[in-house]
Amino acid sequence: MKKSFILRWTFFIGSVIVLPFIFEHILSISVESLLQTGFFIMLSVSLVLLVGFAGQISLGHAAFFGVGAYTAAIVATKLGLSPLLSIPVGTMVGALIGLFVGYPVLKLKSFYLSLATLVIGIAVYEFFKAADPLTGGEIGIYDLPNIRLGNLEIASPLARYYTVWTCALFIIFLCDRLSHSPFGQRLRAIHSDEQAAECVGIDVFKTKLKIFIFSVTIAAFAGALFAHCSYGSIEPGEFSVTLSIKVITMVVVGGMYSVYGAVTGAVIIGLLPEIIRNLGSFAAMDLTQITHIQDALFGVILVIFIIFSPEGILSQRKERTDVTGKKCLLSIRGIESP
């Protein structure tokens, strides 16, 4: 294992341990903001594999996040299941829906795929609002139980923070290893040239379906965890298309071709409202009005990065992704790359 990899993960784990104390006691940023950022990291890292590596634009990621959350909440409140069971159930339901949705949708290409996933996101959001007997309608579901590990109840913000970020670190590690695996090379090859990938024996549709299911499964897991580690309640507004756009913004800002870029984008966008508030306090100015229009602000940020820095902050340029994809194609052909 490379020394840089060990040093990087030592830094990550150490940062996760000390960040809540630094942010809360020195920077006056609440642990709840860091907690929410942990969920953003899981969503953005799962999406970067689908969008950045496989080249499949999805605008419905929030829908699967919501499916996981609502499934876990429903089985926990109506069936009385423990969160340790409701979270896996929510994850599996999200994966199954991902299979049924992905099979027809991934046959579409370009903006047709984006439009289809956008429509799915809107439809799921409207279902959450309309299915009152099941989802609680616009009010949502309240009094969700906390996770219990024996006699230990994960109820405090700090305990929830460490639970969520432990899961986030595991998902970062998993996605990073996947991106460097032979499967990750096949994703790059598909992104580089689908027809060439098919010619050398890659099952393009099957590979895209696999990464789509993997991506939405992580989103559903994050949603199920959100139901039990957030604020004790969920409501439809938390799973609107706006969240999908926000996650896309995180991926673009951080770096569309890098797992760690997605993490960087999630941290920046996730903490941006709190940073703005703190800057206002430091400068003795009222900047809270800016945070009230944060959705518009995220849209402006997305447009700026698409125009001026499409590779993102941690840029691994598309040319590099294309080269990696071409090397994969050559290796499958049995030709040594130059």
pLDDT of residue 100 exceeding 60: yes
Inter-residue contact 158 to 20 (CB < 8 Å): yes
Mention every residue, 6+ apart, whose C-beta is less than 8 A from residue 264.
253, 254, 255, 312, 313, 314
Q: Please state, rounded to an integer, the average pLDDT across all residues of the chain.
A: 84
Name the residue with tokens 């299915």.
131
Q: Structure pTM?
A: 0.88
Mention every residue, 6+ apart, whose C-beta is less than 8 A from residue 230.
35, 36, 39, 160
Q: How many CA atoms lie within 13 A of 71 on its CB side?
A: 28
| Cα distance between residue 68 and residue 238, in whole Å | 13
Phi-psi group of 152: left, alpha or beta (phi > 0 → left; psi -120 to 50 → alpha; rest → beta): beta
Mean pLDDT to the nearest integer, 117-136: 93
Q: What is the DSSP string of 3-19?
A: HHHHHHHHHHHHHHHHH
pLDDT of residue 75 exceeding 60: yes
Query: 127 pLDDT band (50/70/90 cuts)?
Result: very high
pLDDT of residue 193 exceeding 70: yes
Query: 324 pLDDT band (50/70/90 cuts)?
Result: low
Query: 199 pLDDT band (50/70/90 cuts)?
Result: confident
| Cα distance between residue 202 and residue 180, in whole Å | 17
**What are the beta bridge partners of residue 1?**
none
- Dihedral of alpha carbons 14, 268, 320, 175, sign: positive
Give the count of beta carbons closer than 10 Å to the beta carbon of residue 306.
12
pLDDT of residue 19 exceeding 90: no
Of all residues in the chain, what percent carry a pLDDT higher than 90?
A: 44
Inter-residue contact 157 to 35 (CB < 8 Å): yes
312 phi, psi to nearest 5 deg: 85, 180
| Each residue's pLDDT tens digit, 35-74 | 999 999 999 999 999 998 888 888 999 999 999 999 999 9
